[in-house]
Amino acid sequence: MRDRALAAIMSALFILLAAGLFYNQILRYGYYSRLSRNNSIRVMPIDGPRGTIFDRAGRPLVTNRLSFDVAIVYQEIGDRRKLARLLNDVLGMSGGEIMEALEKAAARSYGPVVIAADIGKEHALALEEASFDTGGLVIETRAKRDYMYRMFGSHLFGYLGEITADELEALKEYGYRMKDLVGRGGVEKQYERYLRGSDGGTQVEVDSRGRQMRVLGVKEPIAGQDLYLTIDASLQLTADKLLGDHKGAVVVMDPRSGEVLALASHPSFDPNIFIRPDMSEGRLKLLNDKSGRPMSNRAISGVYAPGSVFKIVTASAALENRKISRYSRFFCGGSFRLGNATFDCWKQEGHGWQTITDALMNSCNVYFYNTGKILGVDQLEAYAWLFGFGKSSGIDLPDEVKGIVPGRAWKKARRKGAWYEGETINYAIGQGYLLVTPLQVLDMTAVMANKGSLVRPRIVKRIGTAEVPADTPKAIGLGAGTVREVRDGLFEVINNENGTGKRAKIAGAAIAGKTGTAQNPQGRTHAWFCGFAPFADPKICLVVFLEHGGKGGVEPAEIARGIFEEAKRKGYL
Amino acid sequence: MGGKMIVDNKRRKEFDVILLGIVLIIFLIGILAIYSATQAKNLPRAESYVARQAAWLAIGLVFLVAATKISYQKFIDLSYILYMVNIVLLVLVLVLGHVRLGAQRWFTIGNFAFQPSEFMKLTLVLALAAYVGQRKGAMDTLGSLVVPCIVVFVPFTLVLMQPDLGTALLLVPIFLSIILVGGARLKYIVWMIASGILSAPFFWHALRDYQKQRLLVFINPNIDPLGAGYTIIQSKIAIGSGGLLGKGWLNGTQNQLNFIPERHTDFIFSVIGEEWGFFGALALVLLYYLIIQRAFNIANLTSDRYGKCIATGIAMLLSLQVIINIAMTMGMMPVVGIPLPLVSYGGSSLLATLVAIGLLLNVGMRRSTF
């Protein structure tokens, strides 16, 4: 009985199917036939604009501008000769170019095919007016990304690129379509899901001459969300200008909140060239520049030996472990012997007797060789981790690398060998296997600025109307005495007339810092400067890194001074 | 010895050659449509789609014949194991699927994609039939429905998480029909349907955005003229413009101009409707109807409870897939990812359908020996 009932229900549904076929194919044949014959459904997409990126004060950094594209609907061309003349007059297209454009349009004759992109407003208006005579010409307006500062801040913002086949496969359920632009680095990539607008469009029925008969459906586009960065546009400009033609990176941060005020990496690039179709040559040049690597964000994706700036960690570890005190002294005669090996100080004639304060101020290597020897590799490794090396800082930017914090276990696993004491000696002055990013050095500096607390750097303050909560800095367990000793040393680096970083000094604000000059296998030394101000209650900390830039106390310290001065002018100090 | 001869003769007589013939005709129609749909897509070689589908048919026919050789009682004995294996495969798909964004419903083994949810429909039928058959007449208490409910709920949830709303929802009427035939009280079944409808708002929240979108688009295709709505409108134009006699094979303009996405898989019927017209489309629907009538007949004539449940489940499985898929291409139902059995391009679906038909023939052949 019951199976019969089921069969009857299914039969009824089959009859409904047949009725549906009859309705669509017989009764509505005329209507559908006409729609299909004219191919007369045209879809016109309306872009959902990407969110604007602002700085902390609400000044626009990355916006959208209107661009005008010329498209041809081949089917609807009325007078080919007139059209060709018009394109020649207004856009200066040659006969050959026009032929090519028409061929392109003929391949998809029922829909608009873009033949010239981004033609400028005046040209667009001229064409729009004249298109009544020729038919088949459509001006499409689209929102195009505009990186107003061009070469400045580009690693921070990132750029846009066309979606790849693989990404499309993975993302199409989220509304991505072919030719969509997606964020390819920086904030554009990290916050893609917020910045991205969702495209709308209208579906219209047109007659055989392309006139719109009626709108079948409209889907409103939705704009992406705006981003408010922690960046200060004027500090960013200063950082970029001071870096100039150097290879390197500058990062400025408020140590109390981790808010990054400026982040520059050079050589830089102009993100706009990834949007303009006519600039593919420039794109290739950027991507193929192996020595300059302009696309790489050196502040977070480059790893380097830290050199003497790492002495902050060595000093903290030794003080904390009571291996040295403020009264401990070591004699520097210009070199240090361990077995048969000799380790040099940078000052050949030696620094004489040194306390921790002197040793930081003079950046005396021999003092730290001695310290490293009595401290041992395990403590150096432990404190390097504690200060944030060897792991990502958690900054909201893509492609951050972790660097290397070596140790006994690391060496066994990676180099298949035992740890040598000579390697500890080098470790203590930031040389050897140790590799760090400029941002990690900044984070280490912030620990001293914050009197013992590590902070997570961040770039985005607000998404749309929602504030992004900041983490509070976390104490890493340094005693007050340790912090005081190291900070006093860092103060002398800038303010003592023999200090290695005295070129960073400015009038009206007490600065502390550390220089570094790191040897590396690739050539000239890397130059570092890190510092913070005001000394008593720091509001700004920064790192300056110059790849193969010579001595840390020279150019990096001068760049730092320029930034401190600008920060003072802007009321940060 | 003599007794066995009689049984064998009887079996041969009962092997439904006509049903198998109809299956092959439908498959042939499908191959023609797949060729038409893929050669228009400017894909490297349309032949490769056809060749693959034919290869799957060959494999499927071997399985079909194999499924008729062993008594279906053996399938019942193995049903829980098959069910468990299939559940494990569904879980695996989910775990591996999380590696990539979006939906993942299949494994790739070499060049072939394997989609466990297609087989879940069949193993669910077997598992439910095993339980209901075993209970004999005692299906009329509420307690006897607890196990079947769990048996359907687990794969339902897993398939929904893939996320494949269409296939998940398809499992429900299959389940209801088997317990109905198995003797569950109508009152309880009505309750279940009612509570299912009442809990719909809860499920609405569990749906992904794009799934909600598809349901909303069904109600009003114009809210998304670029996405799912576009497909429905274009599919309707394709079918409607086919008229009485169609535009002819390889001549469908909607099809040839790339208007319809996924037209060699879920939207294959729009190609058939456009190119073969009302007569062609109606003939295909009739062929399906013949299969399904035979399936219900087998169910009706089978006195054995196991066999009856299997035949009913398979009859429902086939008819619902055909109805949902065709109704969807005509805009009579929301767009859910249900393939047209035997016609849509795709190995897993074809294989599962052929095995299901093998089982159906099996029940038809052996019913009188009980």
Give the model confidence (pLDDT) of A216-256 as tens digits: 667 678 889 999 999 999 999 999 999 999 999 999 999 99
In this predicted structure, what is the pLDDT of residue A173? 62
- Identify the helix (H) or strand (E) that includes residue B26: helix B17-40
Mean pLDDT across the stretch A307-320? 96
CB contacts of A200 in chain B (<8 Å) are: 226
Q: Which residues of B249-263 are buried (b: 16+ CB within 10 A; e: fewer)?
A: eeebbbbbeebbbbb
Q: Do residues A74 and A102 lie in contact, with contact meaning Cβ atoms separated by under 8 Å?
A: yes
CB contact under 8 A, B239 and A43: no
In this predicted structure, what is the pLDDT of residue B14? 65
Q: Determine the Cα–Cα distance for residues A381 and A26; give it in Å rounded to an integer.
A: 81
| Residue B3 confidence (pLDDT) above 50 | no
Q: Determine the Cα–Cα distance for residues A57 and A540; give it in Å rounded to an integer.
A: 17
Give the model confidence (pLDDT) of B341-360 as tens digits: 999 998 889 999 999 999 99
Mean pLDDT across the stretch A21-44? 81
In this predicted structure, what is the pLDDT of residue A325? 94
pTM higher than 0.80: no
CB contacts of A22 in chain B (<8 Å) are: 278
In this predicted structure, what is the pLDDT of residue A243? 95
Mean pLDDT across the stretch B123-144? 87
Which of B181, B214, B226 is the best residue to mutate to test the A interface, defined by the most A CB atoms within 10 Å of its own CB? Answer: B226
- CA distance, residue B2 to nearest chain A CA (Å): 36
Note the Cα A327 to chain centre separation in Å: 45
- CA distance, residue A219 to nearest chain B CA (Å): 6
CB contact under 8 A, A13 and B319: yes
What chain A holds in terms of domains, given with CATH numbers, is: 42-229 (3.90.1310.10), 233-282+296-569 (3.40.710.10)
Mean pLDDT across the stretch A256-279? 90
CB contacts of B296 in chain A (<8 Å) are: 3-4, 6-7, 10
Question: What does the DSSP assignment read for B267-280?
Answer: THHHHHHHHHHHHH
| All residues at 6 or more sequence positions from A178 whose CB lies less than 8 Å from its CB, including other chains | A163, A168
Residue of A nearest to B255 (CA): A36
Mean pLDDT across the stretch A344-349? 92
Indicate the residue type of B204.
Answer: W
Give the model confidence (pLDDT) of A102-150 as tens digits: 888 877 666 678 888 888 888 888 888 887 777 788 888 888 899 999 9
B136 vs A96, which has greater pLDDT? A96
Q: Which two tokens stand for residue B140?
A: 């009329």
Strands A460-463 and A466-467: antiparallel
**Cα→Cα distances A186→A295, A460, B50, B112, Å:** 11, 11, 46, 39
A506 vs A89, which has greater pLDDT? A506
In this predicted structure, what is the pLDDT of residue B335? 78
In this predicted structure, what is the pLDDT of residue B123? 96
A515 vs A161, which has greater pLDDT? A515
Which residues share a beta bridge with A219? A201
**What Rg, from alpha-carbon coordinates, does chain A have?**
32
In this predicted structure, what is the pLDDT of residue B7? 45
| Residue B203 confidence (pLDDT) above 80 | no
Give the model confidence (pLDDT) of B72-93 as tens digits: 889 999 999 999 999 999 998 8
Which residues share a beta bridge with A512? A532
Which residues share a beta bridge with B113? B108
Question: What does the DSSP assignment read for A299-316?
Answer: HHH--B--GGGGHHHHHH
- CA distance, residue B3 to nearest chain A CA (Å): 32
Please report which confidence band the pLDDT of residue B2 belongs to, taking 50, 70 and 90 as the band edges: very low
Q: Distance between terminal CA atoms of chain B?
A: 19
| All residues at 6 or more sequence positions from A163 whose CB lies less than 8 Å from its CB, including other chains | A171, A176, A178, A179, A180, A181, A182
In this predicted structure, what is the pLDDT of residue B369? 47
In this predicted structure, what is the pLDDT of residue A163? 85
Average per-residue pLDDT in chain B? 83
In this predicted structure, what is the pLDDT of residue B368? 58
In this predicted structure, what is the pLDDT of residue B228? 60
Residue A75 has what DSSP assignment?
G
- How many A×B Cβ pairs under 8 Å? 153
CB contacts of B323 in chain A (<8 Å) are: 10, 13-14, 17
Q: Which two tokens stand for residue A224?
A: 């992406």
Mean pLDDT across the stretch A497-505? 94
Q: Determine the Cα–Cα distance for residues A481 and B32; give it in Å rounded to an integer.
A: 85
Range scoring the smallest mean pLDDT among A86-90, A386-390, B173-177, B212-216: B212-216
Q: Which two tokens stand for residue A327?
A: 């009264």
In this predicted structure, what is the pLDDT of residue A42? 66
Nearest to B222 among A39, A45, A217 (CB): A217
Please report which confidence band the pLDDT of residue B227 belongs to, taking 50, 70 and 90 as the band edges: low
In this predicted structure, what is the pLDDT of residue A209? 55
3-state SS string for B131-154: HHHHCCCCCCCCHHHHHHHHHHHH
Q: Do residues A270 and A392 lie in contact, with contact meaning Cβ atoms separated by under 8 Å?
A: no
Question: What does the DSSP assignment read for A205-274?
Answer: EE-TTS-EEEEEEEE--BPPPPEEES--HHHHHHHHHHHTT-SEEEEEEETTTTEEEEEEEES---GGGG
Note the Cα B48 to chain centre separation in Å: 24
What strand order describes the sheet that includes A512-520?
Answer: A259-266, A248-254, A540-546, A523-533, A512-520
Residue A207, number of CB atoms within 10 A of its CB: 12
Average per-residue pLDDT in chain A? 90
In this predicted structure, what is the pLDDT of residue A113? 82
Q: Determine the Cα–Cα distance for residues A269 and A296; give it in Å rounded to an integer.
A: 10
Q: Which residues of A186-202 are buried (b: 16+ CB within 10 A; e: fewer)?
A: bbbbbbbebbbbebbbb
Q: Determine the Cα–Cα distance for residues B159 and B155; give it in Å rounded to an integer.
A: 6
| Residue A270 confidence (pLDDT) above 90 | yes
| Residue B102 confidence (pLDDT) above 50 | no
Q: Peptide bond preceding A267: is omega within 30 degrees of 0, i.e. cis? A: yes
Q: Which two tokens stand for residue A108?
A: 């998809």
Of A80, A128, A69, the residue nearest A103 (C-alpha) = A80
Question: What does the DSSP assignment read for B340-352?
Answer: -TTTSS-HHHHHH
In this predicted structure, what is the pLDDT of residue A86? 86
Angle at CA of residue A68, ends A64 and A71, nearest 5° = 135
B95 vs B32, which has greater pLDDT? B32
Give the model confidence (pLDDT) of A407-461 as tens digits: 999 999 999 999 999 999 999 999 999 999 999 999 999 999 999 999 999 999 9
Range scoring the smallest mean pLDDT among A132-146, B112-126, B181-195: A132-146
Give B182-186's long-range contacts (Cβ < 8 A, gap of 24+): B182/B132, B182/B133, B182/B135, B182/B139, B182/B305, B182/B309, B183/B132, B183/B137, B183/B139, B183/B140, B184/B139, B184/B140, B184/B144, B184/B145, B185/B140
B153 vs A106, which has greater pLDDT? B153
CB contact under 8 A, B102 and A172: yes
CB contacts of B244 in chain A (<8 Å) are: 25-26, 29
Q: Peptide bond preceding B163: is omega within 30 degrees of 0, i.e. cis? A: yes
| Residue A35 confidence (pLDDT) above 50 | yes
- CA distance, residue B369 to nearest chain A CA (Å): 21
In this predicted structure, what is the pLDDT of residue B104? 57
- CA distance, residue A386 to nearest chain B CA (Å): 32
Residue of B nearest to A10 (CA): B319
Mean pLDDT across the stretch A289-314? 94
Range scoring the smallest mean pLDDT among A91-105, A331-345, B59-73: A91-105
Of A201, A244, A191, A207, the residue nearest A222 (C-alpha) = A201
| Residue B60 confidence (pLDDT) above 70 | yes
Mean pLDDT across the stretch A11-25? 95
In this predicted structure, what is the pLDDT of residue A212? 66
| Residue B4 confidence (pLDDT) above 60 | no
CB contact under 8 A, B226 and A17: no
